[in-house]
Amino acid sequence: MTASVVSAPPLDLARLGRYLEAQAPGFRGLRSAERFIGGNSNPIWRVEADSGCYILRTQPAGELLKSAHALDREARILTALQRSAVPVPRLRVLCNDLDVVGVQFYLMDFVEGVVHRHVGLPTVPRDRRRAVYEAAIDSLVAIHRADVEALGLADFGRPGNYFERQLHRWKQQYRAAMPEGSAPMDALIARLEALMPREGHPVVLLHGDSRLDNLMFDASGCRVIAVLDWELSTLGHPLADLGQFLGVQELPPDYLLPGLRGVDRAAQGLPTQDELAHRYLRAMGMDPRADMRFYKAFAMFRQASMSAGLRRRAALGTAVAESALAFGNTLDVFLLAGLDILDGGAAPSSTPTETTT
């Protein structure tokens, strides 16, 4: 893969520095901006200045799908959650002036910590791996317990059935990106439509992309100090986030987004999906017997829709990362995982499994 597929806006450092000194509280003396390699959503730079270190997150350059790369929503969440128990970096400024770098962007404080990129935690001592996962689940509970009224987020999502809205939205994204269609995608969509939850549910703040690698841990690697990447956040069904967190673990361990399918969790010191689900469901006061198959399969459908968008952007030369085409060309991995979950994934046992707290 060559860099020609990557579309990040060019930064005029002199212009950017003048803007940040005028608009970002406490910012002074821009020295450099180095783009991080990796990630398929929005370009990210590490910004060094006399006043400290920051993260600059921008929209990609070029054509964007409708409602994608909504940095203003991320900025709103980061600002609101400063008043909550959910740890997030401090937002310094959101810029909607396209004359500065050509696209919308925001600047936030840099948080020094550890990001676990692989769900198998190969760099974490075996006896500490359970603690990492328990901290991740507890951070998800903190997000879902946030008081959206008090935080001024009561209008952050649309009314109605969350999964019906999401299925409609991501079907549109998929069809815009892949007008030729996909038989496995159509099969998964049909299954999800038939299994759509209809019962009432609490409406909570959703992260929208709940994964281990969207959490920043402290130096010990076991305490969450920042929840990152809020681009897909909204209000909705709490099990959507839990389904996402568990669903990506159903992927093969050698895939681009490594999973735990076929891994002996006990041998690796990793908690089971039952244990993780029960910890979350107990903390939220929900039925510990909840069947997570629909929610995990829905997460795989959505990941496949995103991958279709990545393939489209790579073909247009507007992708953010070199891995975009690789994800796009292997979107069937998500689809087949989703179908496998619906066909054979076991529901959590009816008896909660005790875990170490």
Q: Domain with 279 in it: what CATH number?
A: 3.90.1200.10
Would you place residue 315 in the very low, low, confident or very high pLDDT band (cuts 50, 70, 90)? confident
117 within some domain? no
Would you place residue 17 in the very low, low, confident or very high pLDDT band (cuts 50, 70, 90)? very high
Instruction: Name the more confident of 221 and 37.
Output: 221
Helix axes 293-316, 238-247, angle to 10 degrees: 70
How many Å separate Cα 4 from the centre of its chain? 26
Domain that holds residue 13: 3-109
In this structure, are 101 and 162 located in the same domain? no
Mean pLDDT over 262-282 rounds to 97
195 within some domain? yes
- Which phi and psi angles does 319 have, rounded to 5°? -75, 160
In this structure, are 96 and 152 located in the same domain? no
Residue that terminates a domain, selected from 109, 140, 173: 109
Q: How many residues does the chain have?
A: 357
In this structure, are 208 and 302 located in the same domain? yes
Write the pLDDT tens digit of every residue in 74-94. 999 999 999 999 999 999 999
What is the pLDDT at residue 286? Answer: 94
Q: Domain with 47 in it: what CATH number?
A: 3.30.200.20
Q: Is 275 helix (H, G, I), strand (E, B) or coil?
A: helix
246 within some domain? yes
CA angle 205, 207, 212 (to 5 degrees): 140
Mean pLDDT over 26-45 rounds to 85
Mean pLDDT over the full length of the chain: 88
Write the pLDDT tens digit of every residue in 191-209. 999 999 988 788 999 999 9
Instruction: Name the more confident of 37 and 304.
Output: 304
352 within some domain? no
Residue 262: pLDDT over 80: yes
In this structure, are 74 and 146 located in the same domain? no
Give the closest residue to 292 by CA, choosing from 275, 308, 306: 275
Percent residues over pLDDT 90 in the chain:
72
114 within some domain? no
In this structure, are 192 and 289 located in the same domain? yes
Q: What is the DSSP string of 136-204?
A: HHHHHHHHHHS-TTTTT-TTSS-SS-HHHHHHHHHHHHHHHH-TT--HHHHHHHHHHHHT---S----E
Mean pLDDT over 321-342 rounds to 86
Q: Which of 57-66, 110-119, 173-182 has the highest mean pLDDT?
A: 110-119
In this structure, are 102 and 34 located in the same domain? yes
H-type helices in 287-331, by residue range? 293-316, 324-329
What is the pLDDT at residue 314? Answer: 73
In this structure, are 105 and 166 located in the same domain? no
Task: Quote the CA–CA distance of 234 and 158 in Å, as a whole number.
Answer: 8
Residue 39: pLDDT over 70: no
In this structure, are 87 and 140 located in the same domain? no
Residue that terminates a domain, selected from 109, 140, 168: 109
Mean pLDDT over 341-354 rounds to 52
In this structure, are 206 and 325 located in the same domain? yes
Would you place residue 346 in the very low, low, confident or very high pLDDT band (cuts 50, 70, 90)? very low
116 within some domain? no
173 within some domain? yes
Percent residues over pLDDT 70 in the chain:
89
Residue 32: pLDDT over 50: yes
Q: Is 52 helix (H, G, I), strand (E, B) or coil?
A: strand
Task: Quote the CA–CA distance of 53 and 29 in Å, as a whole number.
Answer: 11
Ramachandran area for residue 179 (φ above 0: left; ψ -120 to 50: alpha; else beta):
alpha
What is the pLDDT at residue 60? Answer: 83
Q: What is the CA radius of gyration of the chain?
A: 20
Give the closest residue to 1 by CA, choosing from 307, 306, 304, 311: 311
Task: Quote the CA–CA distance of 62 and 123 in Å, as a whole number.
Answer: 38
In this structure, are 169 and 101 located in the same domain? no
**Minimum mean pLDDT range among 38-47, 78-87, 274-283, 341-350:** 341-350
Domain total for the chain?
2
Write the pLDDT tens digit of every residue in 43-81. 899 999 999 999 999 988 755 555 555 799 999 999 999
Would you place residue 303 in the very low, low, confident or very high pLDDT band (cuts 50, 70, 90)? very high
Task: Quote the CA–CA distance of 229 and 212 in Å, as a whole number.
Answer: 12
Mean pLDDT over 92-118 rounds to 95
In this structure, are 77 and 159 located in the same domain? no
Instruction: Name the more confident of 309 and 317.
Output: 309
59 within some domain? yes
Residue that terminates a domain, selected from 50, 79, 109: 109
In this structure, are 180 and 307 located in the same domain? yes
